[in-house]
């Protein structure tokens, strides 16, 4: 193993969280959990990655206990006896392999459509009401709704702690509910949850504070955020390092331990005049550890694969990534699709068997291998 590659396989410690390697499995929706319950196949899927050198697994998005939290079929839930028992089996399997695991707690917000399980009659919930042909397709959230969603996240975090998870990740990215409050494109509220970015961040801050209160001071909270949105890939919450610092500081103070900085391509600089990516800037501005993510290990970025395509993403060299990790630009590296198609990705990188890494195509999404 070269000195550069070695950086990826150093342990990482933050308080009670001790990771055997710097490789993180990125959260990726897989939709193999009928009635919201992770199956034996889901247990095995995560176990295999933990057994092959992934230090921290962040699960696929798993919905909190609110009637409008889900937007997709067969997505796992993080509430109710059967789903939590399913997740407990996942935790035990991952721990048996020496890995660590956190659930990604998720509310899809206004992208939910009527007809979606588990309560088909419930519309999307978001910062603003949306009508279509006189029908409410998105329910504009009241302050009571906001408190109920916050309580659902806090309860999910408490349940994660109770079943042995090693922390939680709050999904605040990609144009889902928390991000819908951040983004002025989806939040034109005139109360204290709208207006300036500081006000638009209030929902997230209160949510993080509630999660922290629920789990106590020593249970790790990861917060995932992004500039880009599924509604607009070019969207930006902030355009300068100063503004990014102002945005992150209250989130950090509310209780975030690690920031997961979602970009489409990790190698792209975030702001002009510096090579630093979003994770690099976030680490510098907050002093908190960061996870970088965005097409790690593949030559095609993931949005090309959101539509039906015959494209194949070939394994890409990771020298630039390792150089940045060695310079401590960020602390942890999240790998997404490369780990879907090849559960042994980390092991092959560690052993210098890059030529054996499997390419990624949409075919890989059809099974839980």
Q: Output helix, strand, coil percentages for the chain, rounded to the nearest 5.
A: 40, 20, 45
What pairs with residue 140 in β-bridges?
126
Catalytic status, residue 46 = no
Annotate 328-366 with DSSP letters as a single string.
TS-SEEEE-HHHHH-TTHHHHHHTT-GGGPPPEEGGGGG
The residues near 274 (Cβ < 8 Å, ≥ 6 apart) are: 241, 281
Residues 6+ apart with CB under 8 A from 34: 74
Across-strand partners of 333? 23, 292
- 262: nearest Cα among 245, 299, 237: 237
- Which candidate in 45, 46, 176, 193 is catalytic? 176
CB half-sphere exposure, 348, CA atoms < 13 A: 18
H helical segments located in the chain: 3-6, 40-51, 81-96, 143-162, 177-182, 197-200, 202-215, 241-254, 278-286, 319-326, 337-341, 345-350
User: Rounded CA gap, 305 and 349, in Å?
Assistant: 24
Q: Contact at 8 Å (CB) between 199 and 234?
A: no
**SS3 category, 166:** coil
d(Cα 257, Cα 251) in Å, to the nearest integer? Answer: 10
Catalytic residues: 176
């Amino acid at each position: 193993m070269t000195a550069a590659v070695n950086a990826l396989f150093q342990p990482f410690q933050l308080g009670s969280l001790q990771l055997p390697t710097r490789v993180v499995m990125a959260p990726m929706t897989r939709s193999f959990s009928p009635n919201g319950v992770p199956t034996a196949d889901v247990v095995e899927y995560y176990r295999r990655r933990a057994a092959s050198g992934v230090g921290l697994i962040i699960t696929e998005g798993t919905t909190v206990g609110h009637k409008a939290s889900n937007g997709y079929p067969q997505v796992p839930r993080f509430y109710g006896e059967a789903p939590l028992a399913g997740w407990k089996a996942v935790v035990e399997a991952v721990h048996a392999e020496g890995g660590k695991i956190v659930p990604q707690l998720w509310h899809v917000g206004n992208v939910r459509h009527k007809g979606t399980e588990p309560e088909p009659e419930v519309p999307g919930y978001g910062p603003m009401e949306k009508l279509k042909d006189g029908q409410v397709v998105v329910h504009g959230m009241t302050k009571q709704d906001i408190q109920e969603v916050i309580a659902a996240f806090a309860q999910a975090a408490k349940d994660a702690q109770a079943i042995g998870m090693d922390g939680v990740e709050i999904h605040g990215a990609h144009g889902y509910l928390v991000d819908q409050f951040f983004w002025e494109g989806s939040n034109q509220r005139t109360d204290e949850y709208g207006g300036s970015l500081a006000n638009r961040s209030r929902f997230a801050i209160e949510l993080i504070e509630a999660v922290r209160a629920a789990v106590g001071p020593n249970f790790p909270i990861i917060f995932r955020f992004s500039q880009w949105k599924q509604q607009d890939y070019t969207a930006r919450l902030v355009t300068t390092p100063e503004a990014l610092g102002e945005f992150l500081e209250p989130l950090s103070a509310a209780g975030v331990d690690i920031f997961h900085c979602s970009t489409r391509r990790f190698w792209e600089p975030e702001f002009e005049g510096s090579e630093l990516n979003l994770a690099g800037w976030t680490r510098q501005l907050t002093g908190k550890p960061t996870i970088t993510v965005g097409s790690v290990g593949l030559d095609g970025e993931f949005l090309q694969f959101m539509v039906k395509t015959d494209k194949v993403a070939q394994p890409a060299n990771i020298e630039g990534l390792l150089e940045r990790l060695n310079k401590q630009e960020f602390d942890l590296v999240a790998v997404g699709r490369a780990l879907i198609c090849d559960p042994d990705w980390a092991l092959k990188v560690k052993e210098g068997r890059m030529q054996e890494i499997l390419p990624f195509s949409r075919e890989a999404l059809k099974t839980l291998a």
